[in-house]
Amino acid sequence: MTGYLGSYATLGLLLLASVLFFVVAFSANRVLRPARPADPPGKRTSYECGLDPVGADWAQMQIRYYVYAYLYVLFAVEAVFLFPWAVVFDRPGFGLVTVVEMAVFVAVLALGILYAWRRNILRWT
């Protein structure tokens, strides 16, 4: 398929094949399934780690989980920023400037973790 509309024809054939696959899969499912699917007792009850659910359906989440998640994301982003810095550091003309910039970046993050540590935010109770 060449020419101006060749790529559109390829796209149209791909879309047609995907719709055909979808229709065949769902038709096969309808033909091959049992006539009356079983509905045993307890099938529609909620499942929680093999235990019967007890209590209300709403529980309050502790804020410390969000703090740990936030700190993880913060230091994961720091690790992502360290890789390009390591690549650029080796290039000529970037030596001292790059070290100072990264030292400031790591120092700000270190101050943040020191603050969290001093305020006992990282202590698991």
**Weakly modelled stretches of the chain, pLDDT under 50:** none
What pLDDT sits at residue 109?
83
> Rounded to whole angstroms, what are the CA distances from 65 to 38, 52, 79, 121?
41, 25, 21, 11
The residue segments making up the domain with residue 12 are 1-35
Cα–Cα distance for residue pair 1/6, rounded to 1 Å: 5
27 and 79 fall within a common domain: no
What pLDDT sits at residue 33?
85
65 and 104 fall within a common domain: yes
What pLDDT sits at residue 42?
66
29 and 86 fall within a common domain: no
Does residue 47 lie within any of the structural domains? Answer: no
117 and 76 fall within a common domain: yes
What pLDDT sits at residue 70?
82
Give the dihedral of Cα atoms 60, 63, 64, 66; nearest 10 deg.
Answer: 110
71 and 21 fall within a common domain: no
117 and 68 fall within a common domain: yes
Neighbours of 90 (CB within 10 A): 9
64 and 28 fall within a common domain: no
Q: Scanning the structure block, which residue is given the tokens 């790059």?
A: 98
